[in-house]
Amino acid sequence: MLDMLHFYLIASLILYLMGIYTLASNRNMIKLVIGIEILVAAVNLNFLALAAFTSGQGVLGPVDPLAQTFVVLSICVGGAIAAVALALIRNAFNHYGTLDVRELRRLRE
C-alpha cells in the first residue's frame, strides 16, 4: 500500500520538476502557460494521492469527496486561467509580432 503512494508521489515530483524546468528554460509565452499547467497537474495529483492515503483505506480505497471537489474546482479554474492567458498571448502576438518574453521586455523600455 505504501509503495503505491510512493509511485504517485514520485510521479507528482517528476511532473513538478518538468514544470519548473519548462518555466526556467523557455522564453515562449505559450510554453510558459503549458509549464504552469503541468505544475497544477502535479499539485492535483499530489493532493489526490495524499487524500486517498490518509482516508484509511489506502490508495486503492475511497478518496475523500472534499479532496475530489477541490481538485475538480482547481482543474476548472486552471482551464479558465489558461484560456484567458492564451487570449492575452494571442493579442500580444497580433500587436507585437512575437511571443518571446525577452523581446517583449525590451519593447517596454
Cβ-defined contacts of 14-19 (< 8 Å, 24+): 15/39, 15/41, 15/42, 15/45, 16/42, 16/43, 16/46
User: Which segment of 55-59, 60-64, 104-108 scores lowest on mean pLDDT?
Assistant: 55-59
pLDDT single digits (tens) 17-50 = 999 999 999 999 999 999 999 999 999 999 988 8
Structural domains of the chain in order of their starting residue, each with its CATH number: 2-108 (1.10.287.3510)
pLDDT single digits (tens) 67-104 = 899 999 999 999 999 999 999 999 999 988 889 988 88
| Residue in 52, 51, 53, 44 with CA at minimum distance from that of residue 16 | 44
87 Cβ contact list (under 8 Å, min separation 6):
none
**39 within 8 A of 19, measured Cβ to Cβ:** yes
pTM for this model (two decimals): 0.85
